Amino acid sequence: MKTIGGMQPYLFPYLGYFQLINAVDVFVISDDVQYIKGGWINRNRIQSNRKPLLFTFGIKKDKMTKNINQRSYSEDTYNSTRDKFLRTLFHSYHKAPYFKEVNELIAEILSYEDHNVSGFNTNSLRILCNYMNINTRFKLSSSLKKDEGLTGQDAVIAINKILDSHCCINAIGGLELYSSKRFEENGIQLKFIKMNEIEYRQFNEHFIPNLSIIDVLMFNSEEEVEELLKSYELRSEL
């Protein structure tokens, strides 16, 4: 039974995002939806001085109606933002057990020359998945021939049909957006993934949850990451 999941292409997203990727056969990157300022497309959180720190990579000013795959990171600020971010990673994590390899991984990601937001973030997700031994296939939503007038769950159902999916897994936030009955009418089982409450050793006793995957990788071995990726539950609509 082929299982499909999908999300917009976030920058260095949290563990739950990668749990969803790992739980499906094909992960659809929703790159042909409107870019919304203030979301997680171009920002996330790491820790600095034992506190959460929000980081943001600036987006080139353009029409707000444009889709994610039509937007680019700002050429004027990208290099300075990248260099500052790498310095922040050093000061924040240089004593973390897996700093060397993870820092090299992030530097590789940030050296990518295509600054189209969709292209850049998708490349980042591929590299991170490869590092975590996640073998899920990626598909760009924009590459699929579908009715562009469809939105919401109708668009998701259409994508599942195109990819011959029999099961669709969504983030738990989709509970209020999607109807199991509507999916079942189209021969698709609908499930929702919810990350368990997890903790791992950071620098001190106070655990900071829901940080970027960067934080997870800094403190966990390959085997520990593998276990964290499986620390979730699948729910049907309540």
- Per-residue pLDDT reduced to its tens digit, 50-70: 899 999 999 999 999 999 999
- pLDDT at residue number 238: 53
| Pairing label, strands 189-195, 167-171 | parallel
Cα–Cα distance list, 171 to 17, 74, 174 (Å): 8, 30, 6
Strand, helix or coil for residue 233: strand
Instruction: Report which of 69, 71, 72, 73 is spatially closest to residue 144, judged by C-alpha positions.
Output: 69
CA 69, distance to chain mean position in Å, is 15
Residue of 44, 12, 5, 15 whose CA lies nearest to 232: 15
| Range list of H helices, the chain | 15-23, 78-93, 99-110, 117-131, 152-162, 180-185, 213-219, 222-229
Average pLDDT of the residues in 150-168 = 91
Q: What is the pLDDT at residue 161?
A: 95
Range of the domain at 75: 3-235
State the chain's mean pLDDT as an integer: 95
In the chain, the percentage of residues whose pLDDT exceeds 70 is: 99
Q: Is 121 helix (H, G, I), strand (E, B) or coil?
A: helix
Q: Determine the 3-state secondary structure of 188 from DSSP.
A: coil
The count of domains in the chain is 1
Section 113-142 average pLDDT: 97
- Residue 177, pLDDT score: 81
Per-residue pLDDT, 1:
73
